[in-house]
Amino acid sequence: MKLSKNFSLNEFTKSQTATRHSIDNTPSMTVILNLTSLCEGVLQPVRNNFMKPMVISSGFRCEELNTKIGGSKTSQHILGQAADIEVLGVSNLELSDWIHNNLNYDQLILEFYNEKKGPHSGWVHVSFDKTNNKHEYKEAYKNEQGQTRYRLK
């Protein structure tokens, strides 16, 4: 099922963890509509701008899958409103900055980017809520105790 010109539903539901644990990660029609909005509002414009393939490392997660991987109980992945992405050949810092400067989004997180480890370290989490986008841009990092922390970018 196509969600936009360059994105299919399978890209958002495929999960090695779900397969390994026999978890049915099939989204509802409401979730499919949210994924379509995410594609139309953010992911397709990113693809159109950079003209390069995008890797979706995490898309939709049913509640059982989200629990299995230790995701937040309020994760927008459960609603089909979020994806963790990278664009081949584009640094994650450049990608997140471009989204921030050019698109409407709810939450944008540059996750665990480390310039010393190279431009492709980490990944970009982006969410889109067609009813209430907060345009919140943050960076995730590990503190000295190894705990995940967030700071505004």
Instruction: Give me the mean pLDDT over the 51-80 stretch.
Output: 96
> DSSP labels for 29-81?
HHHHHHHHHHIIIIIHHHHHHH-S-EEEEE----HHHHHHTT--TT-TTTTT-
pLDDT per residue as tens digits for the range 6-55: 999 999 999 999 999 999 999 999 999 999 999 999 999 999 999 999 99
- What mean pLDDT value characterizes the chain? 96
Instruction: Give me the mean pLDDT over the 143-153 stretch.
Output: 93
Query: pLDDT band for position 115 (50/70/90)?
Result: confident
pLDDT score, position 45: 98
For residue 120, pLDDT beyond 90: no
pLDDT per residue as tens digits for the range 79-91: 999 999 999 999 9
Tokens 């994924």 sit on residue: 35
Looking only at the bridges linking them, the beta strands covering 148-152 and 123-127 are: unpaired
